[in-house]
Each structure stands twice: as C-alpha cells, then as structure tokens.
Amino acid sequence: VATIRDVARLADVSIATVSRVFNGSTRVSDQTRHHVRSIAARVGYWPNTAARSLTTSRTSTLGVLLPDLYGEFYSEVIRGIDQAARRDGYQILISGSHADTLTLVTAARAMHGLVEGMIIMAPDDGSAAALQEIMESIPAVLLNPPCDNGSCNAISIANYDGAYAITEHLLALGHRRIAMVKGPSGNVDSEERLKGYRAAMLHAGIDPSPDLEFQGDFTEVSGCQAGRAAIQSIPRPTAMVAANDYMAIGLMSALREAGVRIPEEMAVTGFDDIEISQYVNPPLTSVHVDTYELGERAFQRWIQAARSGGPSSPAHEVLPTRLVVRQSCGSKGTR
Amino acid sequence: VATIRDVARLADVSIATVSRVFNGSTRVSDQTRHHVRSIAARVGYWPNTAARSLTTSRTSTLGVLLPDLYGEFYSEVIRGIDQAARRDGYQILISGSHADTLTLVTAARAMHGLVEGMIIMAPDDGSAAALQEIMESIPAVLLNPPCDNGSCNAISIANYDGAYAITEHLLALGHRRIAMVKGPSGNVDSEERLKGYRAAMLHAGIDPSPDLEFQGDFTEVSGCQAGRAAIQSIPRPTAMVAANDYMAIGLMSALREAGVRIPEEMAVTGFDDIEISQYVNPPLTSVHVDTYELGERAFQRWIQAARSGGPSSPAHEVLPTRLVVRQSCGSKGTR
DNA sequence: TTGTAAGCGTTATCAG
DNA sequence: CTGATAACGCTTACAA
C-alpha cells in the first residue's frame, strides 16, 4: 500500500517526478524514469485511482443501471457496453436491481463522483421524473426509455414494429385466433410488444380480446404456465406470440407435454432471437434483436455526448428488429 | 455539481456540519439538519464518493474480474455477487474480458484505490503468479482457481465430481462408447470436467481415447459441429457427454438434423443445468451447478475475509454439484 | 529536467 | 452542538 510519497522518498526525487513518470510525461530523463519505475515496482506502487480522479475530475468509469440482471438479454447488453467501453479506456460500475424508482435514485447517487456518466435502463414507466433529474446532473443515455417526449438522449428497440411484423406474419399464414403471452406489466418492452400485436390484429380486422392475452413475466416457467392455460381455452388459439424467447420455449415445453404438435396444431413465435432459439426443437421463429449492439451503440452515443461537453443531447435512436422465420410458426422456414 | 462548501456557505454553517448531516451524526440539531438538507436538495448536492473514500479509505465497492461475459453462467455469477453485495451496501465494478494474464493485471491495477477487494475468475491456468501478487495487496477471493496449492481464499465448483458422476450414470445404463465434447483448452472448468469423464471411463475399465474426445468452446455452435463430427465417426458413440449445456443443446440440434433419435440412438448429457435445459426437447440430463450461489458465496467469503482485516485467509471451498436426470440420457427421467 | 506548493471534495480531530 | 483545520493521494501550474 505504498503511496506516491513513499516512492518519491525512496527514489530521492519529488512526488511530481513520480507523478510524471506514471503519466507518461516526456519531461523526465530516461535515467530518472527507469530509476523511479524500478523503485515503484519493488514496493508494488500503483497510483490510487480515487485520488487521481479527485484532481483530474476524470474517473474513466461509466455507471450502468439496470432493472435486473437475469437472463441473456441483460448479459448481452452488459457485454456490449463493456467491450465498447474498454476500447475507449473506460470501466463499468454496474448496479443491477432496481425494482423501483427509489432504488434507482439511490444507486445513481452512490455513483456520484465515481462515474463520468451513466447508461440507464429504467425499471418501469414511472421513473421519468427521476431520470430527468439524473440527466441534468450528468451525461446519460437511456435504454428503452419510458419517455417519448424526445427530451432525452436515448436508444431503444423497435419493439412495436417487431411485434407487429411477427403477428402479421402469422396472420398471413392464415391464423385468426392468435394469442399473446405478455411480459410483465409496467415493463416498457413488454407494453410496446403488446401494442404491436394488438395493432396488427386490429389491422387485420380482428378485435384484440383479453381471452387471447395471457400474462407472463419473461421467464420460461411463466411461458409454460401460459401454455397450459391456452390449451384449455375454448376455442383454442391456433397460434401464440410470446413476448420473448424464454417464454416461447417454456410454452413449447407445455405444448409438447400436452401432446400438442408444433407447428401443426399450434404455431409458436418468440421475441429477441437469443442464440439458443435456433437450436431448440422445432427451431423458433422470432424477432431478432441485436442486444449486444444495443449496449455497444449506447456506449457510443454516451461518449459522443460526453465529449461534446454539454448535457445529453436529446435524440432518440431506434434499433431496428428483423423477423427471423424458422419452423415453429409453420411456414417454410430456413431449412 | 455543488460541493460541500457551496452548501455550507448557502446554509451559513461550516462544512463540518454539512458533513455531519450527511453522515447521520446525531451531534447536530434538528433545526440545522433540516436547514442543511433543504439547501442541499435545492442545489442538488450529494457527497462526492471519490473524495469521501479518499479520507475514509472505504469505497464500498468490490471489483469483479471475469474472463468473459458471454452466456448464462457469468450472468448468474454476477447476479449472485451483486445481490449479496447490495445487501451489505457494496457496489460492484466489473471488468469482463481477460483473454490473458496481462489484461487481468491491467484491469486489477486500474481498480486500485477504487475497490476494497476483488472477486476474480482467472482466464486460464497460467495466471497463478499474477493472482498471487494481487492477493498480497488486497483481499480477494478466487473463483475456480487454477492453483490447488491451498494458499488462497477460493471457491470452486465440483467439476471433477460432476463429470465423473454423469459419465458413471451413462456407464450404468450400459453405454461403453461414450464421447466427450470438451470445453476450451486451458479453461479450468473445462479441464476438470474432462478429467472427471476420463477417470470414470478408466474406472469402468475403458481406456479414454482421443477418438472419443471432440473439441468445443462452450458455445452452441461448437456443440453442433462436434455433433456432426461424432455422427460420422466409426464406430459411432452411443452417448455423448458435453462439457456444458449450451454445447449439449447445439449437439442435440445436429443430431436431430441428421435424423439421429435422442436418446434411443444417442444419449446426450450436459453440464451446468441452466434454466432452459428443462424446457428443451428432450429435457436435458445435466449436472446442476448453482451458479447464482457461487457468486453469492464468493461475496460472503470475501466480506468475511475483508472484515477479519488480514489478507485473504487461505481456504478452498468446493460447491457440490448434483446429477439431474431427465430424458436426454435414456433413463426413466423425472417425468 | 526537476521541485514547490496549491488545490480536488471529503472526513475527522480537536477546540470551543 | 458547531467550527477550524489537518489530512487523504494525487495532478498540475509555476518556479528554478
């Protein structure tokens, strides 16, 4: 736990010189540099990052606030951010469970002084005010923001479009009784996907009915339960749109268990197109979301905003989604 | 970006008083406390964490160094750590890609002064020396450490036992030509699982053969490739042990594609027992690893070591695994 | 090329 | 209960 002073004393130079050595300044002779380096190595000295950032007011750290850490979605977002951040010399400070607005704010405050900015995914649509406040004090970009008011720097997924497209695809295949397995209510992605589904149904002249909407929470087990319920309902749907792949996979498992053939007796689709979806049986038709890229782009937007000095420039980027047709929906598929 | 001085001036008190208010000291009158709080709220003041930690030498932050961030395994480990850490008021600073020892060390140094300790998962078995050095300077616990020397505070998974047990299970079902899909070489889990498989084979009087070992890298696609190769090999194996579930699922997809029935023509098993494995078709026999708990326990071990003041107490805890029999291996299964 | 010294925003000690 | 003031470990003008 040596400090800069210890090294300076041992090397018989001033602390300024030691500092220069560790900051790559050229204004130091080769001889002194080597001498200092060797002493530092001997005592195991390394600059204290907290102290350094206090004077420079640069921390090279980015805060990441996520509502949860469960599942491949968050994992990939984090990976995308981390990789991009690393390339620009940033580290990431993660806080991964904000059931509500209060914990969100608490976590954000705990990061004050430690981070140069934040990438935030709000827990639900009730956090708009809190987000606004955070964004006024530090450059931040929002992931799938609840606020459409265009006043913030944000990036989100084309949830509505994706859900619309996949429902439309099923309609084109001749399905009329298309059910939806919803994600948790309050969740932004969840709501948007539901809207897209309903809109496509309406556009085809079918009134969306509560009887066709099953509640889920993005987990496999909830998809499984929704599947069991759907099978019982009369008349039984001929197709089911799950709000994410995990639920679709749970759903398929329930259908298999009940002896319902996929896609002949029930077409199934997912959303997110996680890696595993192409390997399940039958391969899952889904809406591809480049989650890794979402994280990567979020960082890029952030650093751009941060470098331009000002507060977060208000601009809302939407990452497009893409329909991936495989066999679970009953159309020809890719194989 | 108000500082403590701004608040003190505006509230017409000393900075010491403001500090006391924000540290919950009782030695301040209710009236002053409220006054200070209101001023602080008005100017949006919040203590600067970096500055605070400089004087207290407490950062309430834990560093987490992982070789990669891809997939459910890391995701769950992080979630386990994060949850446990949050309960004790800690945040986590994550660095998630250390292909080699150098980047490991670089990341560790960048955290100096920011974290009170670390939880580290080494990239491969060549990082022992570097780890040793880090552990001398800061309390740390190792995840699946390469060093068995018992000189470090570590926690790992019973990889060897799990692989032994699952191979033994297949042997008991009458299989003799049991192939293995290996994980990346150099990876600690990967190597241990391979050893367990080989040992079980040997114990049954079967010499492990390179012809029965297929290289993979823990991804679905590598499992798929291994599956294709295995089908071609003569004589064809009757069972395959994959070093993780992702590969097993890719493997099953390759078998299905080739019309090989599971488990009748080929028994398949995985490792890790990720959530999705119980929902695939057929449900996957695997070795259950409580990944979330691994992270949780790691934190608990760390905080215990950190509080006891000294350096990491050397003790190596091994988290047991549990064989989960489902249908992919051909025995009766759980349903 | 090197050294001196003034901060950076807090906390903590010690008087009052 | 409150206020000065000295650290904490470092960077960075400014001097030499």
Region B76-97: mean pLDDT is: 93
Region B270-286: mean pLDDT is: 96
Per-residue confidence at B132, pLDDT binned at 50, 70, 90?
confident
Q: Which pLDDT belongs to residue A7?
A: 95
Q: Does residue B151 have a pLDDT over 80? A: no
| Minimum CA–CA partner of A256 in chain B | B281
Region B215-242: mean pLDDT is: 96
φ, ψ at B196 (rounded to 5°): -60, -45
What SS3 class is residue B24? coil
φ, ψ at B329 (rounded to 5°): -100, -5
Å separating the CA of residue B15 from the C1' of nucleotide C13: 14
Q: Which pLDDT belongs to residue A150?
A: 65
Region B293-315: mean pLDDT is: 84
Best A46, A279, A292, A334 member to test B by mutation, with max B CBs in 10 Å, is: A279
Asked if strand D contacts A47 at the CB level, meaning under 7 A, the answer is: yes
Kindly determine whether residue B279 and residue A78, on different chains, have CB atoms separated by under 8 Å: no
Kindly determine whether residue B95 and residue A95, on different chains, have CB atoms separated by under 8 Å: no
Q: Are B88 and B298 in contact (CB under 8 A)?
A: no
Q: Which pLDDT belongs to residue A333?
A: 47
CA distance A155 to chain B (A): 22
Per-residue confidence at B334, pLDDT binned at 50, 70, 90?
very low
Q: Are B181 and B223 in contact (CB under 8 A)?
A: yes
Q: Does residue B146 have a pLDDT over 90? A: no
Region B126-130: mean pLDDT is: 82
User: What mean pLDDT is reported for chain B?
Assistant: 92
Per-residue confidence at B221, pLDDT binned at 50, 70, 90?
very high
Q: Are B138 and B115 in contact (CB under 8 A)?
A: yes
Å separating the CA of residue B4 from the C1' of nucleotide D11: 21
Kindly determine whether residue B94 and residue A95, on different chains, have CB atoms separated by under 8 Å: no
Kindly determine whether residue B278 and residue A52, on different chains, have CB atoms separated by under 8 Å: no
Burial B110-133 (b: 16+ CB within 10 A, else e): bbbbbbbbbbbbbbbeebbebbee
**Chain B interface includes A56 (CB < 8 A):** no
Kindly determine whether residue B92 and residue A93, on different chains, have CB atoms separated by under 8 Å: yes
- CA nearest to A167, candidates A208, A221, A225, A126: A208
Question: Using CA atoms, how far apart are residues A88 and A82, in angstroms rounded to an integer?
Answer: 10
Cβ-Cβ contacts under 8 Å, B95 against chain A: 82, 86, 91-92
Q: Does residue B335 have a pLDDT over 50? A: no
Kindly determine whether residue B82 and residue A69, on different chains, have CB atoms separated by under 8 Å: yes
Q: Which pLDDT belongs to residue A334?
A: 43
Q: Which pLDDT belongs to residue A308?
A: 81
User: Token digits for B265?
Assistant: 């023509």
Q: Which pLDDT belongs to residue A127?
A: 80
pLDDT tens, B44-85?
Answer: 999 999 999 999 999 999 999 998 888 888 999 999 999 999
Q: Please list the ranges in chain A whose pLDDT falls under 50.
A: 333-335
Cβ-Cβ contacts under 8 Å, A92 against chain B: 93-95
Cβ-Cβ contacts under 8 Å, B107 against chain A: 91
Å separating the CA of residue A132 from the C1' of nucleotide C16: 44
Task: Mark which residues 119-178 of A lie under 8 Å from B by CB.
Answer: 133, 136-137
Work out the percent of chain B whose per-residue pLDDT is above 90: 77
**Chain B interface includes A74 (CB < 8 A):** yes
φ, ψ at B121 (rounded to 5°): -115, 115
Q: In what order do the strands lie in the sheet with A178-182?
A: A213-215, A178-182, A239-242, A267-269
Q: Which pLDDT belongs to residue A311?
A: 54
Asked if strand D contacts A182 at the CB level, meaning under 7 A, the answer is: no
Q: Does residue B324 have a pLDDT over 60? A: yes
Per-residue confidence at B164, pLDDT binned at 50, 70, 90?
very high
Q: Which pLDDT belongs to residue B149?
A: 61
Question: Using CA atoms, how far apart are residues A118 and A115, in angstroms rounded to an integer?
Answer: 7
Q: Where do we find the tokens 């999705």?
A: B276
Q: Which pLDDT belongs to residue B26?
A: 73
pTM: 0.91
Which of A57-61, B160-164, B307-311 bottoms out in mean pLDDT, i.e. has the lowest? B307-311
Q: Which pLDDT belongs to residue A72?
A: 87
Per-residue confidence at B162, pLDDT binned at 50, 70, 90?
very high
Instruction: Decide the pairing of beta strands B153-157 and B213-215.
Output: unpaired
